[in-house]
Structure 1
């Protein structure tokens, strides 16, 4: 290595540009996220449904014009606003997914992203030594994970999955369904919208059910009910025409299969939608997964089934032994990450 004194007069043998480009690119990404979250929380995109000058936008949002202007320039570069004749306007992308007035708004997902930046990424130098951040289960699921999952699902995954259910020949004759570990309850709500005679139960831990109840009220889903319990140990009912599981251990644990089959009427269907395992994650998602845990878990990430394989040979045998025949097995696009998919099966209980 060159000594320190010599380094004052001799340039390094390597070009430093690749390093600084990486730092700049990372910092610019953080700035874009910060600008996007700030603009969404300050209702920029709602106000800019009508073209406005930076001064007008600053007045409407209670923000400083000298900061609003460069923030809008960043948003323009991102494709979230346009600039024409001295005024900014929201683009279709921001009106659909970022405006408070849109049913597809990704506000909770942005909040979760910012929370991860504050809790995890800013503290990575400490976490790498002392271990993952611990979240109480009621905080993680009810306020951090599930609201974001609900918004993500509304971007296409929910509609694609429920469309497959609605296409099942006997769906309109169904009268009872349960959504195991149903969380936000949107799948159950959607099913009752299309089948006016269907009653649905969202079964989940008691600390999660207030979120489902909130969506039930918002969508005026009077035939959707909540049922508290732990599906590993508690009874979740009988005589169902449809049992639904998505992104939770009820759909991956082999010991759940006989209980699910027992809860179904003959001819009823088990709809199971899960990630296929850790191999689906990119390196950034895999790293993030190591930075947090759920308080009280003996085994890391037991609540995050993305790390577990799905539709193994053993699981297929368990379905067959329980009297469930797979009718549909397909991948469903999940829009919240590029090239992300989940695996969906529909298995019918033999008559």
Structure 2
């Protein structure tokens, strides 16, 4: 018996849902939200400022108003309160970078059928070879998302007895920063690609953490991982690798940890039969589109990978996080 009874309207809303997505992406890409955050504007004023024709602009502004991201008063458009909170770059809760990253992914998702037929990726991963704007949106988008979760995670995990944290593939260092803020005795090392360094250094300066957190450039898939840590944090790293790649990376991380060192793995975690939650299941397709072997993993699969890499005392931390995010901890034998 079906657990959900689709009707034609719901199915068609699902099929055409990308229309709203594209309207949001266009508003971010065209810089409409920052312009309207400054003050309400007419179509003519925005068209002149942005150098674009009024015909398409008024249609987009009206659609964004219908989506309750904007308000229209006579002929002037303004941001709604919630849109200002998340779409004004001056807001500490700004999500524009991750939305721009999602826009970059859309062309690949439109070719999902090709990826399923071929069994391999049809777009390039965001890397040191990526377009600078794409790389910036990805890294700052990861920072935006990290800022939503990192304070909760750092508050829930006791690192009071730990001295040196390794943030593997830590990007701008969001989690390293919050773990260190929560634990005054803790120091940290971010290990990531050289092109990530400017973003990490800007973030460390912003949070006054430059004296406690350093950045070591390298590619964790091929380069040695900095040793001497007693806790390692791997946030959304394993889903980019196949099973063998995960085990190799976990073994390298184990070699970097001191005896008794703590490993923390944060991932979008599938249930045992891999049919939910929804976001990890869809994210697995995102990895199909962009990686040769990456995928979302279930909790039993992650446990098996950790065991194979030599870790013990594996458990899932009791944290309720959005989008199927979960954290597993393990100890180096």
Distance of 1:285 and 1:241 partners within structure 2: 31
1:247 aligns with 2:264: no
| Unmatched segments (≥5 aa) in structure 2 | 1-6
Q: Which of the residues 149, 152, 166 maps onto 1:157? A: 149
Trace 1:155-304 onto structure 2 (pairs within 5 A): 156-165=148-157, 168=158, 170-171=159-160, 174-222=162-210, 223-231=212-220, 234-249=223-238, 253-254=246-247, 260=253, 263-264=256-257, 269-277=262-270, 279-280=275-276, 282=278, 285-290=283-288, 292-294=289-291, 300-301=292-293, 304=294
Residues 194-230 of structure 1, C-alpha deviation per residue, up to 9 Å, x if partnerless? 4455331111344554543453355453132222334
Query: TM (normalized to structure 1)?
Result: 0.70
- Map 1:1-351; keep pairs closer than 5 Å: 22=12, 26-27=15-16, 29-49=17-37, 50-121=39-110, 123=111, 132-135=121-124, 137-139=127-129, 142=135, 145-154=138-147, 156-165=148-157, 168=158, 170-171=159-160, 174-222=162-210, 223-231=212-220, 234-249=223-238, 253-254=246-247, 260=253, 263-264=256-257, 269-277=262-270, 279-280=275-276, 282=278, 285-290=283-288, 292-294=289-291, 300-301=292-293, 304-307=294-297, 312=302, 314-315=304-305, 317=307, 322=311, 325=313, 329-334=317-322, 340-347=323-330
Aligned-residue offset at 1:86: 4.4
Q: Is the 8 A contact 1:330 1:345 kept in 2?
A: no
After superposition, the Cα gap between the structure-2 partners of 1:181 and 1:286, relative to the gap in structure 1 and judged at 3 Å, is closer
Instruction: For residue 99 of structure 1, report the CA deviation from its aligned partner.
Output: 1.4
**TM-score (structure 2 length as normaliser):** 0.73
Query: 1:178 offset after TM fit, Å?
Result: 0.9
Which structure would you say has the larger Rg?
Answer: 1
Moved over 6 A (4+): 128-131
Question: Structure 1: any 5+ residue segments left out of the alignment?
Answer: 1-16, 295-299, 335-339
Alpha-carbon distance in structure 2 between the residues aligned to 1:317 and 1:132: 29
Q: Cα offset for 1:60?
A: 4.1
**Over aligned residues, Cα RMSD in angstroms?**
4.0
Distance in 1, matches of 2:54 and 2:96, equals 24
Supply the distance in 2 between the matched residues of 1:237 and 1:132 (Cα, whole angstroms): 30
SS in 2 for 1:184: coil
Do the aligned residues in 2 keep the contact of 1:275 with 1:305 (CA within 8 Å)? no
3-state SS of 1:272 partner: strand
1:214–1:163 distance in 2 versus 1, CA, 3 Å:
same
SS in structure 2 opposite 1:33?
A: helix
Residues 265, 327 of structure 2: 8 Å contact kept? yes
Q: Does structure 1 conserve the Cα–Cα contact (< 8 Å) formed by 2:231 and 2:261?
A: yes
Alignment partners' CA distance in 2, 1:232 and 1:241:
21
| Residues 82 and 88 in structure 1, CA contact (< 8 A), matched pair in contact too | yes
Cα 1:198–1:73 shift into 2, 3 Å: same
